[in-house]
Structure 1
Amino acid sequence: MSEAKGIIKHIPNTITCMNLFSGCTASLMAIEGHLVEASVLIIIAAIFDFFDGLAARALKAYSPMGKELDSLADMVSFGLTPGLIAFGYLKIAVLGDVAVNFNPSELSFSEIILLLSAFIIPIFSALRLAKFNVDTRQTTSFIGVPTPANAMFWASIPLVLHLGKYPVIESLVSKPIILIIAVAITSLLLVIEVPMFALKVKSLKWSENKLRYSFLITLIILAVLLKWLVIPMILFVYIIFSLIDNYQIKK
């Protein structure tokens, strides 16, 4: 019996390690210029990230080590990898090709700064995760956009461009200034002092999950209307619903 309990308590951490493995592989894909594959692996990492918490609650296998391991895995999967995807698109915008090697000796100072600005995302992701670990206000909700939500936004760009023809999006990601603005905005959203609702559910009752169900229904409707374009919109819909929830709470 004790052996079974010992195995059970390691299940959530094992799932977290699968999140980390997916994140490491995603980072490798992004470095090699395979941005679509990196995006798919971010989604896989997000699935593992959801289920490790679910497993911990279901099995009552909480541990301080599990909490720290989860943050470290998230830093790779949802901090470093989206930064590398942004770096890849900046290489396309600045150097003309994601496959071009980053050689500082062949680049101007401004080009180096432009390219390295992508790593503002991992920096602010680290700040976000560190803040979450010590902030007692974030037990049932979040303060600022969670790192997986930000990572999903950056993962959505290669996926949308791969799945359909969207000249407007192609044009936007080809402009360095647009990419820099996107990096700055999404990074600041990670640490902004605005409450964001959590998707974690304790029951399936409508009365306890009105906001979450409404959020999912809205995404389904947008998916029908906009098809693949709904993917990058998920982050903004999430923020809008969080602001609506904040207004209702204050009211």
Structure 2
Amino acid sequence: MKQIPNIVTLFNLAFGCLAIVCILQPGENIGYLDDGNILHINMPERIVWGSVFIGCAALVDFLDGFVARLLKVDSPMGKQLDSLADVVSFGVAPGMILYQLLRMSYLREPSAFDTSTWAFLPALLFPCCAAYRLAKFNIDTRQVYGFIGVPTPPSALLVASLPLVLFYDQFGLAGWVVNHWVLYALIIVLSLLMISNIPVLSIKFKTYSFKDNWPKWLLAVLSVVSAVVLHWVAVPFVFAVYVVLSLVIGRRQTAENP
């Protein structure tokens, strides 16, 4: 019975591995030149499946903790195994998405095939900071009902949404997704948020009163409404609201308890 949560956690790891396999097999044709010498992006479907598998890993990551609490079988091994799985699913896999998106961004330029590999390596900053964040979480006793720094799963889901935004391009944002300057800025911001010391909201409910949990209910409502209106763009939108709410509430709590 006590191994059931660990088995669920291993599904998280398996989904992360499947995501990496899909992301690193983007297809034979990423771009082509038309008669006007303009490079177009032909979005491979496999990288989209990588995003889907990261989403599956996030769902399983939520369930393993729920199952452990339900069966009352929390263990130090389960905590370590969860972090190891998260490094793969929410660190390495989204890092590979950023790597591939950077490659696609440079394929739009006339000098595409002269681009140095160094231009893609900043994507590796994301998994490095994710691993640091997870290690920090394991030894920080303060992070019970709140977080210090943005957790890896929401950061990974934001990155995982990018191929879907690019593939469906419902609001004409594809050009931004494959703009390497935008990608570099996103990598830096997400990496700094993960390893920062800013207080961040946890989705866990200590009580069910609206007064104590209004930010969480607000996020839940915004998630549903934005998913209907914005589709996959809802993910970065809700992430931004999540970070802003955390900053506002954290400052308010600091002012009330100096």
TM-score of the aligned structures, taking structure 1 as reference length: 0.86
Which residue matches 2:223? 219
Give every structure 1 segment of 4 or more consecutive aligned residues whose post-TM-superposition deviation is greater than 4 Å.
Answer: 202-205
- Alignment deviations for residues 193-230 of structure 1 (CA, whole Å, 9 cap, x no partner): 10111112355553543221121112223334433321
Equivalents in 2 of 1:28, 1:39: separation in Å?
11
Number of residues of Structure 1 aligned to a counterpart in Structure 2 = 234
Name the CA distance, whole Å, in 1 between partners of 2:226 and 2:140: 34
Unaligned runs of 5+ in 2: 27-45
- Is structure 2 residue 130 aligned with structure 1 residue 130? no
Deviation at 1:146, TM superposition (A): 0.4
Name which of 135, 144, 151 aligns with 2:149: 144
- The secondary structure found in structure 1 opposite 2:120 is helix
Superposition map of 1:1-251 within 5 A: 8-33=1-26, 34-96=46-108, 111-167=116-172, 169-202=173-206, 204-250=208-254, 251=256
Query: Relative to structure 2, which stretch is displaced further, 75-84 or 55-64?
Result: 55-64
CA apart distance, 1:160: 2.0
* Distance in 2, Cα, partners of 1:209 & 1:186: 25
The runs of 5 or more residues in structure 1 that have no matched partner are 1-7, 101-105
- 1-structure distance, mates of 2:169, 2:72: 43
2:158 & 2:128 partners in 1: Cα distance? 17
Looking at structure 1, the residues matched to 151 and 218 of structure 2 have their Cα atoms a distance apart, in angstroms, of 19
Provide, for residues 80-125 of structure 1, a one-character-per-residue CA deviation record: whole Å limited to 9, x for no partner. 000000001011112359xx9xxxxx855xx221111111111001
> In the aligned structure 2, how far is the partner of 1:216 from the partner of 1:246?
19
Note closer, same or farther for the CA distance 1:107–1:135 as it changes in structure 2 (3 Å cut). farther
Check conservation: 2:19, 2:50, Cα contact below 8 A. yes
Deviations 1:134-165 (A, max 9, x none): 11111221111100011000011111223343
1:200 partner SS: coil
More deviation, 186-195/214-223: 214-223
| Separation of aligned partners in 2, 1:235 and 1:186 | 11
RMSD value over aligned CA atoms? 2.0
Seq. identity, %: 38
Distance in 1 separating the partners of 2:77 and 2:215? 32
Cα distance, 1:177 vs structure 2 = 1.8
Residue by residue over 1:42-61, the C-alpha shift from the partner in whole angstroms, topping out at 9 and shown as x without a partner, is 00000000000111111111
Question: Once the 2 structures are TM-superposed, how far is the Cα of residue 184 of structure 1 from its aligned partner?
Answer: 1.0
- 2:141 and 2:135 mapped to 1: Cα distance? 12
Q: Is the 8 A contact 2:18 2:50 kept in 1?
A: yes
Cα distance change, pair 208–186 in 1 and its aligned pair in 2 (3 A): same
**What is the TM-score when the length of structure 2 is the normalising length?**
0.84
Contact 1:19–1:45 (Cα < 8 Å) also in 2: yes
User: Are the counterparts in 2 of residues 164 and 228 from structure 1 also a CA contact under 8 Å?
Assistant: no
Cα shift at 1:241: 1.7
Q: CA 1:26/1:62 → structure 2, altered by over 3 Å: closer, same or farther?
A: same
My pick for the range that moved more, 155-164 or 18-27, is 155-164
Q: Deviations along 1:172-198, whole A, 9 cap, x unmatched?
A: 122222211111111111011101111
CA distance in 2, matches of 1:228, 1:130: 30
Cα distance in 1 for residues equivalent to 2:170 and 2:226: 18
* Amino acid of the structure 1 residue aligned with 2:72: K
Partners of 2:203 and 2:216 within 8 A in 1: yes
Deviates more, 1:65-74 or 1:134-143: 134-143
